[in-house]
Copies of this chain bind each other. A is one copy, B any other.
Amino acid sequence: MAGVRLSTKGDYGVRALIELALHEGECPVQRAEIAARRQIPESYLDHLLAQLRRDGFVRSTRGPGGGHELARPSAEVRLLDVLESLEGSLAPLACLEDGEDHSEQHVICGQQWVWREIYDAMRLRLAAVTLAELLARDRERQRRLAPSYSI
């Protein structure tokens, strides 16, 4: 329920959302396509989509023509919220966990104060990044990597 060493959940999950953002406003994208285009194990992706659905980032529809799409505009989805949905708290120390006794910090942890600074800065930065921005950066990189055919 805690920790910033991003696991594959955070990585895969964000990849999947970027893929959904890429198709924003179009028809739903299927699990198989997301998995293939972003190199995610298909049956594992299931769990990530389930979590993102629970937390209101994704809407899914069944049956032929079904698939997954963003439940909210990509410009309004903050990376911080997505990651906290997928990974749980991002606190680098257990004693910084949300809901901990904050008034009188753990008596013994000698480095808590530095990590609190770092944690706060990290959350601020992650809150400032939207899915739309992630998509834009992703597109830009794709462009750099796959140069246009017409020189």
- A interface residues (Cβ-Cβ under 8 A, vs B): 2-6, 11, 14-15, 18, 38-39, 79, 92-93, 104-105, 107-111, 113-115, 117-118, 121-122, 125-126, 129, 134, 137-138, 141, 145
Contacts and interface: CB of A to CB of B under 8 A. Distances in A.
Given A2-B5, A11-B93, A134 B122 contact: no
The complex is assembled from copies of this chain, and their number is 2
Contact of A109 (B3, B11, B92, B122): B11
Contacts of A121: 118, 121
Contact of A122 (B2, B105, B122, B145): B122
A6 B118 contact: no
A117 B111 contact: no
A5 B117 contact: no
Contacts of A15: 108-110
A6 B134 contact: no
A74 B39 CA distance: 47
